[in-house]
Amino acid sequence: MLLAQITDTHIVDPATDAELFVDNNQRLALAVARLNAETIRPEAVLATGDLTENGTVAEMRALAELLDPLNIPVLALPGNHDRRSTFRDTFHMPWATDDGHLGWVVDLSELRVIGLDTVVPDSDRGLLDAERSRWLADALDEAGDRPTAIAMHHPPFHSGIHWMDAMPLDGMDTFSQIVAGRKNLTRIFCGHLHRPLVSTVGGVTTTVGISTVVHVELNLDPAAPVELIRDPVGYQLHRFDGTHWVTHTRYIDTGEVPIRPSS
């Protein structure tokens, strides 16, 4: 099966005059068009948070309009830039019964996906509190032997980009303890950092998707300032054969086309 991931799209009200560095909305439109053109159709698109800039009704309306042409189901999670109230009204997911968080569990053909809401209202930091810890552990237990993945916004590890690590997931150690030793847990997918990263948490490969807008500049100096960069952007395609994952990054808006050398 093929699973796509978009993240950190930061959609804005089309009437905004805020400085955005790129056309956020147009970048998502390009990603949607490219996803629809994939030769092998993904079974679903994970949208791992910060889908809007401020979570307003106008931004969520613009997001819904941009995603409407997509011919692939979307499994969406809020990020720290989103608001749960407008998110719930826009995406009709099997939300967790507790209104305090928008977690969900979805079964795909070869995989169970657990969507973990790490949002703290009015904060850039994420949180795995006692309630969500219990919910996550229960969701993993209920999966039994079925191959399972977790999708979340805040990565459960430090990246080394210090100004971004100042907006971490509080409760990383608890998260690592919950996932460690889970033979059915095959991968953890995250957003938030705006650039592709790979780590291991509790023995589980954990990846961060690529933003459709701008990247966080790669500078591991602890004194580095807040910097963004217009690196090539796009989305990721995660291929799962029932046992192993392979992740590909699809770049968009590069102006390049495939070259077919003559034989």
Asked if residue 52 is part of any domain, the answer here is yes
Which residues touch 170 (CB under 8 Å, ≥6 apart)?
125, 126, 127, 128
Please give the Cα distance from 122 to 198 (Å, whole number).
28
Signed CA dihedral, 76, 17, 33, 60: sign only: positive
Which residues touch 174 (CB under 8 Å, ≥6 apart)?
128, 133
Residue with tokens 């969900």: 104
How many structural domains comprise the chain?
Answer: 1
- pTM for this entry: 0.96
Span 99-119, pLDDT tens digits? 689 999 999 999 999 999 999
Name the band, by pLDDT with cuts 50, 70 and 90, for residue 96.
Answer: confident
Asked if residue 263 is part of any domain, the answer here is no
Q: Which residue has the higher pLDDT, 126 or 17?
A: 126
3-state DSSP assignment of residue 127: strand
Asked if residue 261 is part of any domain, the answer here is no
Q: What are phi and psi of 231, to 5 degrees?
A: -70, 165
Asked if residue 184 is part of any domain, the answer here is yes
> Would you state the structure tokens that stand for residue 108, as one six-digit string?
């795909």
Please give the Cα distance from 49 to 192 (Å, whole number).
7
Asked if residue 177 is part of any domain, the answer here is yes
Asked if residue 160 is part of any domain, the answer here is yes
| Rounded average pLDDT over 150-176 | 97
pLDDT value of position 99: 63
Domain hosting 220: range is 2-252
Asked if residue 257 is part of any domain, the answer here is no
Phi-psi region of 5 (alpha: psi -120 to 50; beta: other; left: phi over 0): beta
Contact 72, 37 (CB under 8 A): no
> Would you state the structure tokens that stand for residue 103, as one six-digit string?
């977690």
Span 179-236, pLDDT tens digits? 999 999 999 999 999 999 999 999 999 999 999 999 999 999 999 999 999 999 999 9
Please give the Cα distance from 89 to 189 (Å, whole number).
24
Please give the Cα distance from 200 to 111 (Å, whole number).
20
Please give the Cα distance from 161 to 135 (Å, whole number).
30
Instruction: State the distance between the two ends of the chain, measured CA to CA, in whole angstroms.
Output: 32
Q: Which helix (H) or strand (E) holds 61?
A: helix 57-67
> Would you state the structure tokens that stand for residue 80, as one six-digit string?
């720290």
Asked if residue 63 is part of any domain, the answer here is yes
Please give the Cα distance from 125 to 79 (Å, whole number).
10
Q: Closest Cα partner for 210 from 175, 247, 163?
A: 247
Q: Closest Cα partner for 250 from 14, 33, 15?
A: 33
Give the CATH number for residue 36. Answer: 3.60.21.10
Residue 156 carries which side chain, given as an amino acid letter?
P
Span 115-154, pLDDT tens digits? 999 999 999 999 999 999 999 999 999 999 999 999 999 9
